Structure 1
Amino acid sequence: MDKKYSMVLFCAVLALGFSACKKNEARITVKEPDPVIGATPGSSLNYDFTLGVNLNEQADAADMNDLADTKTKWVRSFIDFIPVYKAQSAATDPKIAAFIALKSKGYHTVLNLKFDFRLQGGFPALNSSDWNGYISYISTVLDRVMPYTDVLIVGNEPFIEANQSDWNEPLNTFYKAASARVYDYFKTNNIDKPIFLGAFDNMYLSGRTGNAAINSLLNFAKSTIYLKGVDVHIHHTTNTEMLNSLKYVGERIRDDQKMMITEFSLVKYYESYATTDIDAAFIAAANASTSDRIYPPPAGVTKNYQYIDYALKNPRPAAEWYAFWQYSPYLQGAKDYICTSYENLKNNGKVFAGFYALRQSYPFNTDFTETTDPWVMNGLFMNRTVEQVDGRNQKGYSFLDQFQKAVQGQNPCQ
């Protein structure tokens, strides 16, 4: 074999080998790093149980004297993300500014990022400009709030703030992407603060616990190492429902994860009595009163919801509001709600913090009807249904007293 032929043969073999390598290389699939693998931010935080105050999105409306009187050092709020994104107003939004100011007042702060897609008519298309814009703008919001935020929660009430047809997809994909964006931001900026996901609401209902989309997002939370836990909202009728919610969710997170209860209330319990008659004992007490400012309701106000509407439009003396609670068996039966809830949450072992409403949020000149959700019955302070005294809002019937004891290490049930 001459040298020329040998060289040609060698080149042909080499070319064939190179071609085979290229073909094999084309068949190789490069797996991107799994976005759920990584350290867990916030591991150094003290997770001893505590009670905090829930301001929702209204840090700008909260009375700071009322907040100080609660004795807590923990405050929770949320950002209504989509309007802020559309206005590109993270740097100027007054509600965000009010939340940020809480840190300078000495509070530990918890913030939910709320994405209300139901109000938008649904989610944007996957990878559309709006979809990518929302995910990208998370970093802009975090630039603004994270120096003043101790715990960040991805979501507020995903399954309330989305049409049920979207619960599986695109909801699951969106919240996974939003969580990954937050984690990437934390890694890039060396932020060692916990990330939670949620909130999971009404988890005592079979329509929630049996829903595959909800359980899929719970499974994501459990399998995602960088998530410290989940947020749970418990608005219920019975104590058993609260316990069932805690049990169901608690059994579906890791041993090293926690639950946060950033909202809890008996709103559905109060709602169940809205159309019942005002108790005769309250009317009798009001008619018997001569000097303590307990007045009977006007003619035509005969139902519980009607009395609440009357009080919202004509704030009552504190003594009258307290008498309404004392002499209404359904309200008197709920007077130890903070005490009972404190025991439920603390004894669970997996709950990091529970947050209760500070105030009554209800618009002026608006009817309170038989179908209105009675959130106004929940607050620690009665800033709408009760007259101020010396410019100060008055406390609720029993809740503030129990709350103060709990956060100061005393037994709220005594």
Structure 2
Amino acid sequence: MRIFLAAAAAMICTSGSALAQGALGANYNEHFEDVDYRDLEKAGTKWVRIFLPMPQLDRGPAAEHGAVKKILEVGERGYQTILTLKYPYNRVPFPKADSAEMERQLARTDAVLPLVMGKVDILMIGNEPFIESRKQDWNPNFNAFYEKLAKRVIAYRAKHCGPNCKTRLYMGAMNQLENPVWRNATTDRWMAFVKETPELDGVTIHPHIRAIEQSKAFVGYILPRMRPEQKFLVTEFSLIWWWKAQMTQPVNPAFADKYQAPRTAQNWQIVKAALEIPFPKEQWDDFLRMSPWFEGRKHYLANQMKIFRDTGRLAVATYGFKQGSSMSAKWGPEKTPWLFNSVFAGATIRKNPDGSAAFNYAWIDDFKRLQKN
């Protein structure tokens, strides 16, 4: 029976968004307010991803939540869409799978499904479950909690959307797989559930790393643990820990001299100045170009996509698209500098005359080229 179901699922996966092979899209995380169709058009992307923090649904009707409204609007405009359902427990004990809190999460999920099923192209169950929980909670109950959520979504799709439903299902993302501690009995069961559940198209990874070579541990772990027809998503990826290691390093003296900055200034202070009064594009571009730690990695996006695509199993990868408000809040030397990843630098570069964001020179050409390859 299991073999029959797996074969049937493989046949179903030949329609709709499941045909996506190696696509590169725009990731906005929770910042649905940053979606600007001018940016999407300039970059040529066809995919957009947003996540929905599920506890926020307690504030009002799911249909009125900005993330839900925006992802549906994006789809209506002809883009292909990924909506991630985020269940955060990183600051509190993880609930039991038979608890009242579990029922609350099921109720929140039930409120969203009628709005998005059959409309979004991909629905992700869980955002970054392992980051969004405490290590002491990585146990069989953790798996049971997410498996129960997945079965709820699968059952709803089967009943209300049918075998040819547009919406494909993926389990949420695996983190830090380059670290052996993050490859354990809980992650093994996570992958086993994906493999044995024919209604799931695959799993997601989030390689936020220091060096591109570390990303190979992610695909090396997940691919042998999935069925051959299953694929993977990459909803976030970056060299964030490399960027962060450079923040307390001194700025390039040539940049300091050109723009009359103190030679004793550290990189994070230059960013702070740009956030307080956005730089002209030439000045921000010079800051990056004249920094060997950045300039030497300006083709990271293309190089990383090659690693993903060479597996033959990538469905869609989405990359940080625009500097969001959370990236610049409380800026300091210890701030995680996500803003270096962004294709569009709306916070550190002055806006264009039409009010749109300027692009980051390092990423835009490769991003556009990757839409065609």
TM-score, normalization: structure 2? 0.92
- Structure 1 residue identity aligned to 2:190: L
The 5 A counterparts of 1:12-411 are 39-40=8-9, 42-44=13-15, 45-84=18-57, 86-119=58-91, 121-189=92-160, 190=162, 191-209=165-183, 211-284=184-257, 286=258, 295-297=259-261, 299=262, 302-363=265-326, 366-390=329-353, 391-409=355-373
Relative to 1, partners in 2 of residues 1:229 and 1:70: Cα closer, same or farther, differing over 3 Å? same
Contact 1:54 1:355 in 2 (8 A): yes
Cα distance in 2 between the residues matched to 1:188 and 1:213: 30
d(CA) in 2 for partners of 1:148, 1:122: 34
- In 2, Cα distance between equivalents of 1:203 and 1:133: 30
Q: Give the aligned residue type for 2:322.
A: R
Instruction: Write the letter of the residue equivalent to 1:405.
Output: R
Q: Is the 8 A contact 1:309 1:367 kept in 2?
A: no
Deviation digits for residues 9-48 of structure 1, max 9, x if unmatched? xxxxxxxxxxxxxxxxxxxxxxxx99x9675354423132
Q: In the superposition, relative to structure 1, how do residues 201 and 250 fare at CA in structure 2: closer, same or farther (>3 Å)? A: same
1:7 corresponds to which residue?
A: none
The alpha carbon displacement at 1:247 in A equals 1.6
Assess, with a 3 A threshold, how the Cα gap between structure 1 residues 300 and 333 changes in structure 2: closer, same or farther: closer
Q: Which amino acid aligns with 2:154?
A: Y
Aligned equivalents of 1:279, 1:365: Cα separation in 2: 22
Q: Distance in 2 between matches of 1:188 and 1:222?
A: 22
Contact 1:186 1:192 in 2 (8 A): no
- C-alpha distance 226-371 of structure 1, shift in aligned 2 (>3 A): same
Q: Equivalents in 2 of 1:392, 1:128: separation in Å?
A: 47
Alpha-carbon distance in structure 2 between the residues aligned to 1:47 and 1:128: 38
CA RMSD in angstroms comes to 2.1
State the secondary structure of the residue aligned to 2:63. coil
SS in 1 for 2:52: strand
2-structure distance, mates of 1:377, 1:150: 29
Q: Give how far 1:117 is off.
A: 1.6
Which stretch has the larger CA shift, 181-190 or 91-100? 91-100
CA distance in 2, matches of 1:255, 1:368: 44
State the Cα distance separating 1:250 from its structure 2 match: 1.6
Secondary structure in structure 2 of the residue aligned to 1:394: coil
| CA apart distance, 1:136 | 3.5
Equivalent position amino acid for 1:306 in 2? Q
Distance in 1 (CA, whole Å) between partners of 2:182 and 2:328 is: 36
Q: Secondary structure at the match of 1:53?
A: strand
Structure 1: unaligned runs, 5 residues or longer? 1-32, 287-294, 410-414
Q: How far off its partner does 1:127 sit?
A: 2.3
Q: Secondary structure at the match of 1:401?
A: helix
Q: Secondary structure at the match of 2:237?
A: strand
| Partner SS, residue 234 of structure 2 | strand
Deviation per residue, 1:336-390 (Å, 9 max, x gap): 1111112111112111111111101135984421211110101000000011120
Bigger share in helix: 2
Q: Is the 8 A contact 1:43 1:194 kept in 2?
A: no
Unmatched segments (≥5 aa) in structure 2? none
> Number of residues paired by the alignment?
363
Deviation at 1:152, TM superposition (A): 1.0
Cα 1:301/1:367, change in 2 over 3 Å: farther
Distance 1:364 1:82, change over 3 A: closer
Report the Cα distance in structure 2 between the residues aligned to 1:268 and 1:176, rounded to whole angstroms.
31
Shift of 1:262: 0.7
Question: TM-score under structure 1 normalisation?
Answer: 0.83
The 3 A distance-change label for structure 1 pair 278 and 359 is same
